[in-house]
């Protein structure tokens, strides 16, 4: 898996998927105006969306501020595009480790007894 891979937002194999109540049309409307999603890895292996931003630099500045807090956190900036019927997401910036490190940590958190639904 690389940051170049793209996934439908609700796909089970999307490693950056955020559980949301938004419909596909609502997700696309938000993504039209705010295409960059800043996400943090939660203890159970799911992703929490901290912010939606118009520009990657805005998401990056927020990520840097959050990453400066004490503790060890994993963040990813995901670019959301309107390609395809459901749209697409791809990770473009990582904090706390490389893409492989973050995905490995996510799998460890899931194996530790938490279930991703």
Query: Is residue 4 predicted with pLDDT exceeding 80?
Result: no
Position 105 in a domain: yes
More confident residue, 116 or 76: 76
Confidence at 13, pLDDT banded by 50, 70, 90: very high
Position 17 in a domain: no
Mean pLDDT, to the nearest integer, of 40-69?
95
Of 95, 105, 79, 69, nearest to 7 by C-alpha is 79
Query: Is residue 42 predicted with pLDDT exceeding 80?
Result: yes
Confidence at 15, pLDDT banded by 50, 70, 90: very high
* pLDDT confidence of residue 1: 44
Q: Could you give the CA distance from residue 31 to residue 16 in angstroms, rounded to a whole number?
A: 15
Position 16 in a domain: no
Residue 61 belongs to domain spanning: 24-109
% of the chain with per-residue pLDDT over 70: 94
Confidence at 25, pLDDT banded by 50, 70, 90: very high
Position 13 in a domain: no
Position 85 in a domain: yes
Query: Is residue 105 predicted with pLDDT exceeding 60?
Result: yes
Position 3 in a domain: no
Mean pLDDT of the chain: 91
Q: Where are the beta strands (DSSP E) in the chain?
A: 36-41, 47-53, 75-81, 88-95
């Amino acid at each position: 898996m690389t940051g170049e891979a793209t996934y439908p937002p609700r796909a089970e194999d999307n490693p950056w998927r955020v559980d949301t109540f938004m419909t596909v049309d609502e997700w696309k409307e938000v993504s039209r105006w705010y295409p960059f999603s800043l996400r943090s890895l939660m203890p159970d292996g799911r992703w929490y969306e901290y912010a939606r931003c118009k520009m990657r630099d805005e998401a990056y500045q927020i990520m840097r501020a959050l990453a400066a807090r004490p503790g060890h956190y994993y963040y990813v900036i995901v670019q959301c595009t309107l390609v395809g019927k459901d749209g697409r997401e791809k990770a473009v910036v990582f904090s706390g480790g490389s893409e492989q490190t973050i995905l490995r940590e996510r799998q460890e958190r899931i194996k530790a007894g938490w279930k991703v639904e």
